[in-house]
Amino acid sequence: MQTTDDEDNDFSLVIQNPASQADAWHWEIFRMGRKSPIQRSSGSFKTQATATTAGNAAFRRLMTDLNS
């Protein structure tokens, strides 16, 4: 599992492989104080790197939307 935090907004991007399969990587965005993610990938990715790239893009879009 890999986590990226945005301390100013209390959000976390989590990259994980919950199925423990080589090609089942997912990303989820959490907000502090919530147990369930506020966004998650709609499908799986073959590598951690591709899941991270997609998750970071989704995270940036969310931050842009919240700041506008």
- Domain of 6 in residue numbering reads as 2-67
* Residue 32 structure tokens: 């502090």
- Where are the strands (E) in the chain, listed by range? 2-6, 11-16, 26-31, 39-40
pLDDT by residue for the chain (68 residues), tens only, comes to 555 555 556 889 999 987 777 789 999 999 989 999 999 999 999 999 999 999 999 999 998 998 88
